[in-house]
Chain A
Amino acid sequence: MNLKSETLSKIDEVITHYPVKRSAMLPLLHLIQEDVGYIPEEAMTWIAEKLELQPINVYEVVTFYPMFRRKPIGRRHIKVCRTLSCALLGGYKTCATFEQEFKTQRGEVSPDGEVTIEFVECLASCGTAPVVLIDDDLHEKVDVAKAKQLAAQIKEKAIRKVASSG
């Protein structure tokens, strides 16, 4: 495993939070996913060794929790709330707008590699429906117009990044 030294030290620290090492499972998976972008196979063996478990113990956890993924995704992760309160105020249209803007479908990486769009369940912000989580940031009252605006911002940022690195 090739992890940043910062990740490694966070891993060692978080294990001390629990009297039983196995409890550090979700924290370790989060830290590795933040570092690598997903949970590769070798990470599961690595965690198993670190926590003195069998790889299956890690695998069964990774496959249970929706937030962990075993494949890379787009550079930005767009999670649109699908559940009732958001749907009542147009959440499905919000999601379709993002899909159109990035010429992609839910669950896939967009052709430009920029985003992965997903439906998720209630994000506990139903009073400001429809809501969308883009990476770590919650966006509220995302109607079609706001979805277009957010998509434009993501695209613009991507272009600026290419320009500054080129």
Chain B
Amino acid sequence: MSAPEQNRLIFQHIDESGYTNDLACYVRHGGYEILKKAVTRPPAELIDEVKKSGLRGRGGAGFPCGVKWGLVDRKSGKPIYLIVNADESEPGTFKDRYIIHQDPHQLLEGTMISCFANNVKQAYIYIRGEMPHGARILEKAIQEARDAGFVGQNILGTGYSCDIFVHRGAGAYICGEETGLIESLEGKRAYPRIKPPYFPAVLGLYQCPTIVNNVETLCHVKTIADIGGEAYSKIGTPGNTGTRIFCVSGHVQKPGYYEFEAGKITMGQLLYDVCGGPLPGRTFKAVIPGGSSAKILRFGERFKGKSRAGVEYDWGVEDVPMDFDSLAMIGTMGGSGGVIVMDDSVNMVEALANINAFYSHESCGQCTPCREGSLWMKKITSRMVHDGARPEDAGLLKSVADQIPGRTICAFGEACSWPTQSFLAKFDDEFKTYHEAKADDKPAEAVELI
């Protein structure tokens, strides 16, 4: 079965020739018309549309956006803040970058609709420090939108006011975690806060109710305000509505970003039909489906079981529909949409050593299991590659990884242990025999990974 057509709701204008990131171009393409209509509606109605749409967050956790908005404490009398999470730093993820650089007004329109719906008076866009041009583009776009009355005081003459400021991070992955982000925005180290009690919806920025949403999520809100929650919920599949942007990287012929209806395309269609299959002379070995924290899948393994709806499935990696629920059913996650592909030139010990170096560098260091565990997983896998592996390393790695999840303040604890746990579960043989492996066993295409 060949792949379905892309359905570009969010990436409609990305890479379109002649499409520029200024206000005039956006307005020429119908920009801000949806905001104009939205501000004439009761805010509660807009929240209802988002609830009806079934929209799930695109930042990684897939949490229903309408439910999140419903949790916001509106009785405290404190101001409500909205933060756009533009930290985009989950390895393998590169979608928000293109929205920010090429279509910033789409994000601003979605943000303003979301602010109006939630009676937010001040929004911040937290953008990762390594995107200086992105920050400048956003600042310019905000100024244009302010001058045109879409952002700032008395928006479109309605009496409603809300400003947006851009806030730059400084190279720490943990600022993507929403409570770490909030601490960072308060001018501190990005130490995630413990939940409870610090749910952003109640005790967020400056201890006020705060909504944190991913860049892409807010763009979907714009579409929902346009076509209505009901119509949006018909796109994709039940429970996994709308479109998903897949960021495919690694060993495929045509890496890049592709937007499809959620659950309407399988991993096999995506990697073979859309991305052109493996590089010449190679075969697929493994794929990480939702950013580097997601558990790895091994080509050739089979997944059997019954879905929640009672439907039996028997899938190879290629058959898995690309949506949150199907990927969760086979023990991994859709996460941020970052699909990292590895072919048979890759040694799994070395790939894991690369990932472990990332997590040990990025642990914020608050929780002992995460700080020490991520460091030791890195030390062991690096030593296996550079200074000699031992037969007992696999067991040692597993014991370290198993002691982290569930014992930490934030989900980074899970994120850093899942790669080690899943690599070991799926490629146990490679870990157990790595000490016997010889350099000349390696294919010519193998490259240094650590």
Contact = CB atoms under 8 A, between A and B. Distances in A.
A3 B394 CA distance: 54
Contact of B447 (A25, A79, A88, A122): A88
A40 B90 CA distance: 31
A66 B96 CA distance: 22
A128 B448 CA distance: 18
A121 to B, nearest CB: 6
B92 A123 contact: no
B342 A20 contact: no
Interface residues of B, number: 57
A23 B185 contact: yes
Interface in B274-331: 292
Given A17-B165, A126-B338, A82 B128 contact: no
Given A87-B354, A124-B131, A19 B447 contact: no
A84 B187 contact: no
A129 B129 CA distance: 19
A37 to B, nearest CB: 15
A123 B169 CA distance: 13
Contacts of B92: 84-85, 122, 126
Contact of A67 (B122, B171, B186, B357): B171
A88 B354 CA distance: 10
A141 to B, nearest CB: 10
A6 to B, nearest CB: 15
Given A26-B170, A83-B292, A136-B132, A64 B189 contact: yes
A33 to B, nearest CB: 9
Contacts of A89: 250, 447
Contacts, number: 154
A79 to B, nearest CB: 8
A19 B171 contact: no
Interface residues on A, range: 35 or more
B171 A124 contact: no
A61 B185 CA distance: 12
B173 A121 contact: yes
Contact of A124 (B97, B251, B255): B97
Contact of B91 (A18, A22, A84): A84
A31 B322 CA distance: 43
A148 interface: no
B172 A88 contact: no
A120 B130 contact: yes
A43 interface: no
Contact of B187 (A22, A82, A85): A22
Interface string B186-203: 111110000000000000
A155 interface: no
Nearest to B190: A64
B133 A65 contact: no
Nearest to A122: B91
Contact of A82 (B88, B171, B189, B357): B357
B402 to A, nearest CB: 23
Given A88-B251, A93-B447, A93-B448, A29 B170 contact: yes
Interface string B89-107: 1111110110000000000
B358 interface: yes
Interface string B431-450: 00000000000000001111
A126 B133 contact: no
Given A20-B206, A22-B187, A25-B188, A124 B93 contact: yes
Specify which of A65, A82, A87 lies most central, judged by the most chain B CB atoms within 10 Å of its CB.
A87
A11 interface: no
Interface string A116-137: 0000111111111100010011
Contact of A121 (B91, B133, B167, B342): B91
B287 to A, nearest CB: 12
B292 A84 contact: yes
Nearest to A130: B447
A122 B359 CA distance: 11
Given A20-B206, A121-B89, A27 B185 contact: no
28 contacts: A22-B187, A22-B188, A23-B187, A25-B187, A25-B188, A26-B187, A57-B187, A57-B188, A61-B187, A65-B170, A65-B190, A66-B171, A82-B354, A83-B358, A84-B250, A87-B447, A87-B450, A88-B342, A120-B130, A122-B358, A124-B130, A126-B250, A126-B340, A127-B249, A127-B255, A128-B255, A129-B255, A138-B133
Interface of A: 17-20, 22-27, 29-30, 51, 57, 60-61, 64-68, 79, 82-85, 87-90, 92-93, 120-129, 133, 136-138
